[in-house]
Amino acid sequence: MSVTYDDAVDSTPTVATSATTSPAKSPGEPSVVPTRASTRVRDTPPVPSELSCLCTPWSVTAGERNAFRASEACLLHSADMTFTLHPTLAADSTPVVSLELSDVRLMRDARYPWVLVIPRVANVKDAYQLDPVQQQTLTRESAQVSRALMALFAPFKLNVAALGNVVPQLHLHHIARSPGDPAWPRPVWGVGEPVPYTDERLATRVQQLRNVLTVS
């Protein structure tokens, strides 16, 4: 019995049997070991190259997958399983709603309507590290939050920024600004001390945002 591999179709071994016995080798004659071009076994059809990702088990060999396991591409596609909110963001804000990609949180500073949009993607500091679909989703969710702030508070201007010098986890600030606010017209950072919400006002503000964001 001999085993052959047809890599032009797949790597499934084909077993061929013969009714005759192979002739005996002469003394000292080297053994011939069959070789094959690839050891990859495809148990599912290959996906188109534009849809293939290093994380998909059918698109790469086990060795290739292990080599890229810690790469940005794999981290991004497995991000939801490993994402943990930065402790500073957790301490400084209150949850409002979870969108498709991002968590929306209200900053605990009653001086401004100030909302964070935080993609649930681990090990990402800047938006360029997101994959193209995630970038589009983040842009859409940022616009959704911006519309909600405009509808609720009618500010003169929205300040939208991703800084991250102190807290490197990717998050977008959305701040409703108007003449007469404590920092106008300067940026809000480093101006005065945060003013905490009362429990009642915090609950009201969160519910206002939640009502608009869940229908927009």
Residues 52 and 153 placed together within one structural domain of the fold: no
Average pLDDT over residues 78-91: 84
φ, ψ of residue 31 to 5 degrees: the values are -75, 145
Residues 113 and 52 in one domain: no
User: Within a 13 Å sphere around the CA of 27, how many CA atoms are in the beta-carbon half?
Assistant: 0
Higher pLDDT, residue 98 or 75: 98
pLDDT of 83 reads: 95
* 111 and 181 Cβ atoms separated by less than 8 Å: yes
Taking residues 185-209, report their average pLDDT: 97
Residues 97 and 176 in one domain: yes
Say if residue 89 is in the same domain as residue 113: yes
Beta bridge mates, 115: 106, 174
Whether residue 100 contacts residue 85, with contact meaning beta carbons closer than 8 Å, is answered with no
- pTM for this model (two decimals): 0.65
Asked if residue 203 has pLDDT above 70, the reply is: yes
Beta-bridge partners for 172: 117
Instruction: Please report the pLDDT score of residue 7 as a whole number.
Output: 45
191 vs 13, more confident: 191
Is 200 among the domain residues? yes
Nearest to 64 by CA among 81, 46, 40, 47: 40
Residue 9 lies in a domain: no
Task: Residue 164: give the domain boundaries.
Answer: 82-213
For residue 6, the model assigns a pLDDT of: 46
The string of pLDDT tens digits covering residues 163-173 is 999 999 999 99
> How many C-beta neighbours within 10 Å does residue 121 have?
24
Query: Does residue 167 sit in the same domain as residue 209?
Result: yes
Q: Could you tell me if 59 and 155 lie in one domain?
A: no
Tell me: do 64 and 125 sit in the same domain: no
Is the same domain home to 97 and 141?
A: yes
**Sign of the CA dihedral 55, 60, 64, 65?**
positive
Q: Give residue 44's pLDDT.
A: 38
**112-137 tens-digit pLDDT:** 999 999 999 999 999 999 999 999 99
Residue 215's pLDDT is what? 84
Domain for residue 8, yes or no?
A: no
Residue with tokens 């939050």: 145
**Last-in-domain residue among 54, 77, 100:** 77
Kindly indicate the confidence band of residue 54, based on its pLDDT and cuts at 50, 70 and 90. Answer: very low
Percent of the residues in the chain that have a pLDDT greater than 70, as a whole number:
62
Are residues 114 and 92 both part of a single domain? yes
